[in-house]
Amino acid sequence: GVQTCALPISKIRKVRYSFMTLECAKQKLQQYGQEHLLKYFDTLSETQKEALLQQIEETDFSVLNKIGSNEEESSTGTITPIRALRLPEIHANEDKYRETGLSAIRSGKVGAVLLAGGMGTRLGSDNPKGMYDIGVTKPMYIFERLICNLMDVVRESGEFIHLFVMTSDKNHTATTTFFKEQNFFGYKEDYIHFFKQDMAPAATYDGKIFLEEPYKLATSPNGNGGWFSSLKNAGLLDLIHENGIEWLNVFAVDNVLQRIADPCFIGATITENRSVGAKVVCKNHPDEKVGVMCLKDNHPSIVEYYELTPELRDAVDEDGEPAYNFGVILNYLFKESELEDICENTLPLHIVEKKIPYIDDAGTLIKPEEPNGYKFETLILDMIQMMDTCLPFEVERDKEFAPIKNKTGIDSVESARALLAKNGVTL
Ligand code: UTP
């Protein structure tokens, strides 16, 4: 039949590619200055043509309008210090907190969410970051290390904890296959749930979307801020409700030393009656490149290191201590019911410079060594500002923070290995 541009996408997808859908695509591309995406169209097979048209239909090009208007929307508001729960107070109340946390775990109220949808471009491996082998004398994959950390709490509490693993289109199959091959590293398969996050287009600095194949737009995962809506879209909220999960501990794939579902952290957040808990470490240097916790217009918030003015960096609190000194390590405990309340709110979109593989005019795939364009992401740290209350919970850096971002140098495989060794982990 004849298609018109007004047809819902769901209908268009079921019919074969036709002249009119090509016309629709052209109109949409023209509106956003993206006509180059059809450069190879005439050389494509019918299936490839269909795939390309479908991707053009489905892609949200409006993100491109953000290029150039790069003033961060989040930078307005009055910033004041936030009080953190410091190590001495935590130690003094440790038994009480731990008991509260363990009892929440034993009654099934705690779930964990592993954010593993990122591309890990800085590490530069083609596999998902979690498949990276950091072992020295034996294989020790990042995923394996994280499961080992979680198993410590399973053993202590006697209860398995539901683990939700966020992947993306780019690494879903590799990730799920790997977990199966490795027998879920001894974890109970029924307690591991994979879900995929959405993708966003990647563009040149001039806002032209890259092609990664003649029939495929370059896309990348749309940032870790979409984890809760993706979890919801995957239908996993039912499982969360049925199992009575009230708290979700969200954590990054790359910190191999972190404590997951840490009973003391859970207990403190519950006892202090906060909407979210955030593990923090004292900055090791005033200029350390880490987001720090604060209040913005009296709401818990995070100032990114590039937004931290010299005045804020050097500000001190009433005790003469640095006022903005608590860096976040991407380990948060969210009260699930509050996430449902804020989930329809839109998070600010961040424009990030990245290395984006693309095909050049000759049709050759180029893997750039340096950033060559923009990706569009929402970030989990922007969710903190939507919560009413937050408990920054201090942890010892050398015991809980060994992120792997690079192969060597700062935050690398090397530095993480050294920290693991220091904590008695044999690799
Ligand atoms: P990073 O900010 O380090 O990003 O992710 P990345 O994309 O993995 O790494 P680079 O910058 O390309 O080297 C922090 C955490 O958020 C997850 C990552 O998997 C990691 O656990 N993440 C990031 C997602 O789950 N989805 C995303 O879209 C981005």
What average pLDDT does the segment 405-418 reach? Answer: 95
Under DSSP, is residue 292 helix (H, G, I), strand (E, B) or coil? strand
- Give start and end residues of each alpha helix (H) in 234-335: 236-242, 263-271, 310-314
Ligand 1 centre from 243 Cα, in Å?
Answer: 28
Positive/negative CA dihedral, 416, 258, 114, 375: negative
- pLDDT band, residue 2 (cuts 50/70/90): very low
Nearest to 263 by CA among 399, 107, 388: 107
Confidence at 125, pLDDT banded by 50, 70, 90: confident
Within its chain, how far is the Cα of 265 from the centroid?
21
Q: Which of 178-182, 321-325, 342-346, 382-386 has the lowest mean pLDDT?
A: 342-346
Q: pLDDT digits over 18-63, tens only?
A: 555 899 999 999 999 999 999 999 999 999 999 999 999 888 898 8
pLDDT in tens, 211-241: 999 999 999 898 999 899 999 989 999 999 9
Tell me what the pLDDT averaged over the chain comes to: 91
Report pLDDT digits (tens) over 353-401: 999 999 998 889 999 999 999 999 999 999 999 999 999 999 999 999 9
Distance 222 CA to ligand 1 centre (A): 10
- Band the pLDDT of 345: cuts 50, 70, 90: low
Which of 63, 121, 198, 224 has most ligand 1 atoms within 8 Å of its beta carbon, as the pocket-test mutant? 224
Of 195-199, 303-307, 417-421, the one with minimum mean pLDDT is: 303-307
Q: Which atom of ligand 1 is nearest to the CA of 223?
A: 28
Distance from the alpha carbon of residue 46 to the mean position of ligand 1, in angstroms = 35
Contact assessment for residue 347 and residue 378, using Cβ atoms and an 8 Å cutoff: yes
pLDDT at 88: 98
**CA 316 to CA 323: how far, in whole Å?**
5
Which residue has the least CA distance to atom 2 on ligand 1?
118
pLDDT at res. 74:
52
Residues with CB under 6 A from ligand 1: 115-122, 166, 197, 221-224, 252-254, 377, 405
Q: Which residue has the tokens 């530095």?
A: 415
User: 236-264 b/e with 16+ CB inside 10 Å = b?
Assistant: bbeebeeeebbbbbbbbbbbbbbbbbbbb
Between 305 and 144, name the one with better pLDDT. Answer: 144
Give per-residue pLDDT as tens, 68-124.
Answer: 765 555 567 899 999 999 999 999 999 999 999 999 999 999 999 999 999 888 898
Percent of the chain whose predicted confidence (pLDDT) is above 90: 79
Say how far apart CA 426 and CA 140 lie, in whole Å. Answer: 10
Distance 291 CA to ligand 1 centre (A): 15
Spatial contact of 160 and 191, defined as CB atoms under 8 Å apart: yes
Residue 342: band (very low, low, confident or very high) from pLDDT cuts 50, 70, 90: confident
| 33 phi, psi to nearest 5 deg | 65, 40
Burial class (CB in 10 A: 0-12, 13-18, 19+), 103: middle
Give the pair of three-digit tokens for residue 257.
């030393």
Nearest atom in ligand 1 to 406's CA: 13
Res. 7: pLDDT tops 50: no
Report the sign of the C-alpha dihedral through residues 393, 397, 401, 407, in that order. positive
